[in-house]
């Protein structure tokens, strides 16, 4: 399993192509969802206000999934973002797809051909072949803070003593003691996080082709990662994660999102 650490929240943007635009001045444009192989089934996602039914534009060995969009109606609302994701994840349930950024539009079909010239289409097709049979599953895990604090107090004499000392210090002496306690607690969470991440990823490794770890932000964050998983084995992956979550119940809360389009695993050429 290839394990890499990513910048916080930095899913790859997909194959380089037309610039992202969230609104144009009046008229109709083509909205681009992603690149797929010819013959890919168009997902059954209802059209929204100012958005036509989806269709494929063929470019030889690849195709682009598009809709006609009325730019007076399309303004980048949360519902439009959710629709974009639903389309891509709907495709990914059965077919490989290279996602485009939300809001990517071009004027017409000629512009689509220009955005993905013939000399680039072979590499795009290779990427789609690489993703054949694979989906992304996103795992998020957070500590139950009180439970882990109780562990640290029981395991670390310094933390236990300092917590007790705080009960008896005069107000003017509390600040430094609290800072010191906070430092010890943060280090304790970091130690536990490193161990728990290894346990989780080691158990998931047999069902994971590649994984991207995202940097976490909060002291009680354990793990946020995107796993590239064989579509036929995603239920096994889910079952293993459920087993981990059961054993960690009351200590770590897990959330699994997917199957998804491979947002974290494209555009790296």
pLDDT of residue 49: 67
Are 148 and 248 part of one and the same domain? yes
Q: Is 12 among the domain residues?
A: no
Same domain, yes or no: 55 and 146: no
Low-confidence ranges of the chain (pLDDT < 70): 1-27, 48-49, 73-75, 166, 168-174, 177, 267-269
Q: What is the mean pLDDT of the chain?
A: 82
Predicted local confidence at residue 169, as pLDDT: 66
pLDDT for the residue 238 = 93
Tell me what pLDDT residue 227 has. Answer: 94
Question: Rounded CA gap, 166 and 170, in Å?
Answer: 9
| pLDDT attached to residue 75 | 65
- DSSP per position, 148-180: HHHHHHHH-HHHHHHHHHHTTS-GGGHHHHHHH
**Non-local CB neighbours of 165 within 8 Å, separated by 6+ positions:** 177
Please check whether residues 90 and 183 belong to one and the same domain.
Answer: no
Domain that holds residue 93: 18-115
């Amino acid at each position: 399993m290839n394990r890499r650490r990513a910048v916080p929240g930095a899913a790859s943007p997909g194959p380089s192509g037309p610039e992202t635009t969230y609104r144009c001045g009046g008229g109709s444009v083509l909205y681009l969802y992603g690149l797929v192989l010819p013959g890919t089934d168009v997902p059954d996602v209802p059209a929204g206000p100012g958005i036509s039914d989806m269709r494929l534009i063929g470019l030889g060995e690849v195709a682009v999934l598009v809709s006609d969009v009325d730019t007076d109606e399309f303004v980048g609302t949360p519902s439009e973002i959710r629709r974009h994701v639903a389309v891509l994840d709907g495709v990914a349930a059965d077919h490989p797809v290279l996602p485009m950024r939300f809001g990517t539009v071009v004027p017409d079909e000629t512009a689509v051909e220009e955005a993905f010239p013939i000399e680039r289409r072979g590499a795009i097709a290779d990427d789609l072949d690489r993703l054949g049979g694979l989906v992304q599953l996103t795992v998020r895990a957070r500590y139950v803070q009180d439970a882990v604090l109780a562990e640290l107090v029981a395991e670390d004499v310094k933390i236990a003593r300092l917590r007790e000392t705080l009960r008896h210090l005069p107000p003017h002496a509390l600040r430094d003691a609290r800072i010191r306690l906070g430092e010890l607690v943060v280090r304790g969470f970091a130690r536990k996080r490193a161990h728990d991440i290894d346990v989780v990823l080691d158990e998931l490794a047999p069902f994971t082709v590649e994984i991207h770890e995202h940097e976490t932000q909060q002291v009680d964050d354990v793990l946020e990662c995107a796993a590239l998983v064989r579509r036929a084995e995603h239920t096994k992956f889910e079952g293993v994660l459920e087993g981990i979550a059961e054993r960690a119940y009351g200590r770590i809360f897990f959330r699994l999102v997917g199957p998804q389009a491979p947002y974290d695993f494209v555009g790296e050429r």
